[in-house]
């Protein structure tokens, strides 16, 4: 069974040089997870899983960005609870003609076991791979 979810509260920052992104950072609030099932959402926020009380945010910051045409690979550190792992995000981006807006799209898969997210007795019923998708629109400060 696939369960879709979103984080409703998040923030981020990017640094641009000319028409290139040179750094990305962001965080999502664990309190804002929404899967369409309040009981499941509560369980995910509990100390048994994402542990909202001790780890209110999931964070990411880039360490390197490699470019090829309008695609970039962002290498960075994703931190969930007290586990930090290097991940790669393939980005597709575009900048508006007036250079006032930028859109960024990415999709990648992470393994929950890499972040020691264990579901106890239910672990065998929960897949290890989590697909992460982001669609970001930025207003550029010139």
- State residue 69 phi and psi, 5-degree precision: 55, -130
C-alpha angle 102-88-92 in degrees, rounded to nearest 5: 25
Domains of the chain: 6-139 (2.40.128.110)
- pLDDT tens per residue across span 80-108: 999 999 999 998 877 788 878 878 889 99
Q: State the pTM of this model.
A: 0.86
- Residue with tokens 């695609």, as numbered in its chain: 71
Residue 111 to residue 129: CA distance in whole angstroms: 5
**Residue 142 confidence (pLDDT):** 61
| Better-scored residue on pLDDT, 59 or 140 | 59
């Amino acid at each position: 069974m696939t369960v879709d979810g979103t984080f409703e509260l998040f923030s981020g920052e990017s640094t641009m040089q000319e028409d290139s992104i040179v750094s990305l950072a962001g965080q999502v609030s664990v309190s804002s997870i929404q899967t369409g099932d309040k009981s499941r959402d509560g369980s995910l926020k509990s100390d048994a899983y994402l542990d909202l009380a001790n780890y209110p945010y999931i964070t990411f910051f880039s360490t390197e960005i490699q470019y090829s045409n309008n695609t970039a690979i962002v290498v960075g550190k994703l931190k969930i609870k007290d586990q930090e792992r290097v991940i790669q995000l393939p980005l597709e981006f575009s900048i508006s003609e007036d250079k006032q807006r930028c859109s960024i799209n990415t999709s990648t898969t992470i393994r929950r076991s890499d972040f020691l997210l264990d579901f106890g007795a239910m672990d065998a019923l929960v897949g290890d791979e989590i697909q992460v998708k982001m669609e970001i629109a930025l207003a550029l400060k010139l």
